[in-house]
Amino acid sequence: MRSFLYVVSAMIVIGLAFWAYRENYQTQDAISEVSRLKREIKRQKQTLAILKAEWAYLNRPERLRDLAMLNFERLRLLDFTPKQFGKIDQISFPSVATALPITNSVEVSAPQEASQ
């Protein structure tokens, strides 16, 4: 009986060692994957910062104004001026009296429940 317990105990120890070995390598793989993803995120953030800087450089008002003037014949773009904006009291809103009357109305009702 003792030899059986020794064999079972040895099998359990071997099984646990194999499990710990596999878990160790899976953990190392996960850690290396996290490190790789962090490097990729850092690289993408750097790329995004460069793209934002380029976008800000390309959207400078003086550059856009020069491009608009250079291509005026084709695009007909003009600068914004305060005169181009209106005031709220200059907008004509439709009056309530001009609402159209409802004709050909349709009655809607809920479906009747089946009687039991």
31-81 confidence digits (pLDDT tens)? 999 999 999 999 999 999 999 999 999 999 999 989 989 999 998 888 788
Separation in Å, CA 89 to CA 49, 92, 93, 95: 44, 8, 9, 14
| 3-state percent helix, strand, coil for the chain, nearest multiple of 5 | 70, 0, 30
For residues 77 and 68, the answer to whether their CB atoms sit within 8 Å is yes
Q: Where are the domains of the chain?
A: 44-78
pTM, rounded to two decimals: 0.51
Q: How does pLDDT run across 74-116, given as a tens digit for each residue?
A: 988 887 888 888 888 888 877 766 667 778 888 887 777 655 4
